[in-house]
Structure 1
Amino acid sequence: MDKVIATAAEAVADIHDGASLAVGGFGLVGVPQVLIEALFEQGATGLEVVSNNCGTSGVGLGILLAAHRIRRTTSSYVGANEEFARQYLAGELEVELIPQGTLAERMRAGGAGIPAFYTPAGVGTQVADGGLPLRYDGAGGIALASPPKETRVFDGITYVMERAIVTDYALVHAWKGDRHGNLIYRRSARNFNPPAATAGRITIAQVEHLVEPGELDPDAVHTPGIHVQRVVHVGKVDVGIEKRTVRA
């Protein structure tokens, strides 16, 4: 039951080329930075990433992106990363953009064993009708477009069917965790970490505070240890400021 791994490098050592990853975090908050840096050093490439955003320059998934180690990303917000935009428009990166709530529910559904669900988000748009550019050809044309999705009417309202997301691995950041893998997230760092943690077949959690089994109040646990296979104690993690605004 002791799921603690000594180092981040050991925890990510078996992530292979072409692996799919669900990654927690929102902006710079709750990002499993230590695990991402270890994965960068490990060298895996051709990765397929599921994350709300793809990091920023030099931070989070932006490290892997800048090194051209990400082949495909499923995200809902990517506007703050110039390198992301450059790779996407140049045809170097495949991108599936979906509504934020749909992304969270697709990961949650995957962890709950639900293969698909219906939502009104995206009905009447290219999200449902297809035609969103998944990959450009580098010359302004579309090399690969999203296919149309199944829609269905319930009680007079049209819904679009969305498939659940299950990934090979998940990387998450937690405030506290015990040796059994039970996790507690702190404040806004909770964001996408809980659904990401359940979506991975192998979930690796970096924790700031490692405690012994029984020390966590069961009512306070956000992710039960059954969803977590590896725990790495990383100590205090500082969150940077994504956009600093000061008076002229």
Structure 2
Amino acid sequence: MGLGSVFLSEVLGTAILLLMGAGVVANVLLAKSKGFDGGWLLINFGWGIGVFAGVYVAFKSGAHLNPAVTIGILSSGAAEYAPGVPVGFGSTLVYFAGEMLGAFLGAVVAWLAYKPHFEETNDHGLKLAVFSTGPAIRSYAWNLVCEIIGTFVLVFVVLAFAKTPSQLGPLAVALLVVGIGASLGGPTGYAINPARDLGPRIAHALLPMAYKGSEGQEIGKKDSDWSYAWVPVVGPIIGGALAGVIASIAF
């Protein structure tokens, strides 16, 4: 398969993932949404189903949807990223680019779907939470540890799925993501995917947002929390690489 097809596949699959993932967060957090205050488990299941759909859409490229997964496969010593797609410098960059662009586009479409609700919501933090993750307790070192652990579980188990086919296909990965969110997602919001956080955070920085009160007065400046943005990028990269190395030994 050509790298152009790989790129398009990853763009589309990751866009669907982010559209549904950011969409469920918007549904739960934004004012006057019918899903308002639906809770953490609704968010977990929304992200899981987003993965389920995204994996099907990106089947041609092996449905990485996540640079940490790509890095995990690379560090495991695999010869191919997907059937007919050899591991190499160029193919790695194509996966990264497709995942980042797809995540950005998915977040933008989610914003379009919920635009009136963004305008009705005055809490800046809730708006940002639709696009990116943030810690419950800000401690960069421990936040990094949590992202490493969560991503390690994701990539290690995904690589195990490849060695132990269960016929569950994308459903297995979807349930894994739900489980990670329910068990390890509380401290940081479980990015476990550099593209999932960075692409939408860039979208948040670029998109027009209403930060005015009911009488039109300015009530604050848009803040994309760039001081934290490195954590959900570096943590998943480390976790994915560790998972690949250990999987090459264990499996």
- What is the TM-score with the length of structure 2 in the denominator? 0.29
Name the structure where strand makes up a greater proportion of residues. Answer: 1
Name the structure where helix makes up a greater proportion of residues. Answer: 2
- What is the TM-score with the length of structure 1 in the denominator? 0.29
The structure whose RCO (Cα within 8 Å, separation 6+) is larger is: 2
